[in-house]
Structures are given as structure tokens and as C-alpha cells.
Amino acid sequence: MNPLSKLLNQQIRYNGPMSISQFMEICLLHPKYGYYTNSSPFGQKGDFVTAPEVSQMFGELIGLFLAQAWSDQKNLEEAVLVELGPGRGTLTADIMRVTKSIKNFPKKIYLLEVSAKLKLLQKSNLEGYQVEWIKNLNQIPPGPIILIANEFFDSLPINQYLKGADGWHERLIGIKNGELAFGISEQKLNIQSTEYFTHAVKGDIVEVRPSVEPIITEISNKISQWGGISLIIDYGCWDLKGNTFQAIKSHKYINPLEKPGEVDLTAHVDFSSLARSVLNCSISKLTDQGVLLERLGISERANILSRSLKADDLENHIAAHRRLTHPNEMGTLFKVMAILPKLSRMPLGL
Ligand code: SAH
């Protein structure tokens, strides 16, 4: 049993079973033992690889897409670039590099990041740029925002509800035979009837991510008042169903209750619930990452880059292109949704 398992055990013995969101928050953010406090999760040696870490092509195409979308708005205000959960800072660095000569593209960057360790990496990867770290979106000054969130929402804590014969119960984490184990709340819950709660049948599990609504409300307030665009990229789908709570360690799925604090805990993103929180703005169609990147010209860009590559570097480059776009890799699992001012023309690619 690792130190965080012991701590969770004690806490549950003292307070009773905890919700999955409490468990995720402790495992990811505990100041001493939390995953984001201690780990260097990215890359082949880490636990997972994100799209900007697969190839520079991802950030370059997203950067040009954002620049085009922003210039289409013909907004004369100065915009700022915002990234939620920037990881190593690679995506923002690629976006800034590719848009360097575009006059009206933001020069000021705001990063929302919880991990002190990752903040240091971001600082070094974004040296030379005007960067400010924020704890909350309301720290961004008034004005248009160009916001990007890649694999951010999946890391925000979820709660799960199970439909039993007698109604809804919350799935909780308790202790069984001395080990952390899933169970359900004894009490029946009075759950507000959104569409998928009412359509559920006995045995269904529904996931809810409580922190999504305040974040999306803040983003839509800014965009509806000042203009801009928000691009959300994550794995998930529209009208997500079932249990998607997962743990990844060294590129493999493991039981989320094993090795607390040593594994990345996430759940798929329900884009329909994100969309329901959007106020006074337009949203794009939910588009596959592979489709968007192809529409933005990834194959042409890949060809150009391949001309200067040989042997292993060329093989890796071809594999990266496939990884970002192929339906069996990140191409269809990852989806893209944009939030724009009401009645805007949808940007090219979405
Ligand atoms: N966008 C990056 C990293 C994705 S991993 C990429 O594509 O490579 C998730 C990121 O979100 C990490 O940087 C993590 O530290 C950050 N994060 C997770 N929960 C957060 C929270 N509650 N507030 C701010 N950042 C958070």
C-alpha cells in the first residue's frame, strides 16, 4: 500500500465512503502525493503522449486555424491567448511560433495550470513570451480571448450515478477487505432530470463533471461580450454513456483504485454537457480530430516536412501523422468543438 492509499484508507474509515470526484481530486492534486504534484507524465518514458507531443504539425495547424478564425471576426480589440492545462507548454509554443508574423494574433499568454512542476516546464519552453499563470479564468482582463484546451477537461473530476431498481445511487469509493473498492450510496438520490437521466434504464451509469459548467459559463461570457474563439479538443463523444473512469500508467490501462497518486486518472468528455453550458454563443459541429487536421492540410504539411528527414526520423514522422489522424489511433476518438460569438460564420475546417 503506497502512502496515499494509507491516507485515503484513514480518511474513508473516519468519514465514510467518498465520491469519485473527491478521490480524483486527492489522487491528482494532493500537495505531497498527488499525480500532478510529482509526475512527469508526458512522452514515451512517461504515462501518455498528447497530440502536441506527437508532432509539431498539431500545434502549427491549430495555430493557423485560430489565426484565421480570429482574423475572420474582424475584431479590432486586442485578444489574448489562453491555454487550459498546458502540460509541457508545447502546444502554445508551436502556436506562437507559427503565428509569429501574424500582426493581430495575441502576444500575451495566460495559462491555467495547477501543477507547480509543469509550470516550471512551461516557463522554460515559453521563454521569451509574455506569459502569466492564473488560478481562475476571471483573472484574465476584459477583452477577447483565443482559448485552447487540449486534454484538459478529461482530467477534471467526475461523479458517477448508477440507476438501481429503486432509483439513482451515487457510486462511491469505500473499503472492502482492507482495500479501496467501489460501492454505491445507500440513500436514493434526487437527481435533476436532464435528458439522459430520464432515458436511463436499470444498471446504467451516468457521469457528471461538476466543474465544467462554471468554466464554460466564464468562457462563453467572455466570448459573447468581447469576441474570440475557444477550441476544445479531447477524447469523448456527444451524449456519453456508461462508465469511462480510467487510469493510465506507462501507456497501459490499470484499475483506477490501484496505486493512487502514481497514475493518471481521467474520464471521457461528454461534449453534449459542455454544449449545454454554453450561453449566448454559437458552437461548431463536433468534429473528429483526424477530419479537422486533414481539412487543415496536415498531409501537405507532412509531405513538406518529410523532405528533410531520413531513416528513423522519417519513419517516426510518418507514424506521427498516422497517429494524429488515423481512425484507429487519435483520429476519431478525439473530437473538436469550437465556441464562437453568436451567429459567427464557422471557421474553415469545422
Ligand atoms: N494540454 C496539454 C496537457 C494535457 S494533460 C497537452 O496537450 O499536452 C492535463 C493538463 O491539465 C496538465 O497540464 C495538468 O496539470 C492540467 N490540469 C489538470 N487539472 C487541472 C486543474 N484542475 N486546473 C488546472 N490545470 C489542471
pLDDT averaged per 10 residues, the chain (length 350):
94 97 97 89 83 97 98 96 97 98 96 94 97 97 98 97 91 95 89 68 92 97 98 96 94 94 96 95 98 98 96 96 97 98 93
CA 53 to ligand 1: nearest atom: 8
State if residue 220 touches ligand 1 by the CB under 6 angstroms criterion. Answer: no
Q: What pLDDT, on a 0 to 100 scale, did the predictor assign at position 167? A: 87
Locate the ligand 1 atom nearest the alpha carbon of residue 88 and give its number. 8
Pick from 209, 93, 76: nearest CA to 155? 209
Distance CA 220, CA 158 (A): 22
Instruction: Please indicate whether residue 157, judged by its CB atom, sits closer than 6 Å to ligand 1.
Output: no
The helix (run of H) or strand (run of E) holding residue 24 is helix 20-29
Q: How many C-beta atoms lie closer than 10 Å to residue 2's C-beta?
A: 13
**Spatial distance between the Cα atoms of 124 and 346, rounded to a whole number of angstroms:** 35
Residue 46 confidence (pLDDT)? 82
What angle (nearest 5°) sits at the alpha carbon of residue 55, between those of residues 52 and 57?
Answer: 90
- Output the CA 156–ligand 1 centroid distance in Å: 9
Determine which residue's CA is closest to atom 11 belonging to ligand 1. 85
CA–CA separation, 187 vs 316, rounded Å?
53
The single-letter code of the amino acid at 326 is H
The whole-angstrom separation of Cα 309 and Cα 332 is: 28
Q: H or E element: which one contains 90?
A: helix 90-98
Atom of ligand 1 nearest to the CA of 115: 15
Of 36, 92, 154, 266, the one to substitute when testing ligand 1's pocket (max ligand atoms within 8 A of C-beta) is 36
**Cα 37 to ligand 1 centroid, rounded to whole Å:** 12
Ligand 1 mean position to 311 CA, how many Å?
34
Residue minimizing CA distance to atom 25 of ligand 1: 113
How many angstroms does the Cα of residue 69 sit away from the middle of ligand 1? 24
* Cβ pair 175, 14 in contact under 8 A: no
Bridge partners of 229, per DSSP, are 146
Ligand 1 atom 21, closest CA: 114
CA of 211, closest atom in ligand 1: 22
* Atom 13 of ligand 1: nearest residue by CA position: 87
The per-residue pLDDT for 44 is 76
pLDDT of residue 191: 72
The Cβ-side half-sphere exposure at 55, using a 13 Å CA radius, reads 26
Predicted pLDDT of residue 192: 66
Ligand 1 centroid–CA 217 distance in Å is 19
**Residue 156, all three cell numbers:** 477534471
CA dihedral 7→11→12→15, nearest 10 degrees, is 180
Q: Is 152 in the pocket of ligand 1 (CB under 6 A)?
A: yes
Q: Which atom of ligand 1 is nearest to the CA of 48?
A: 5
36 lines ligand 1 (CB under 6 A): yes
Atom of ligand 1 nearest to the CA of 149: 1
In short, whether 53's Cβ falls inside 6 Å of ligand 1 is: yes
Q: What is the pLDDT of residue 196?
A: 62
The closest-lying atom of ligand 1 relative to the alpha carbon of residue 154 is 9
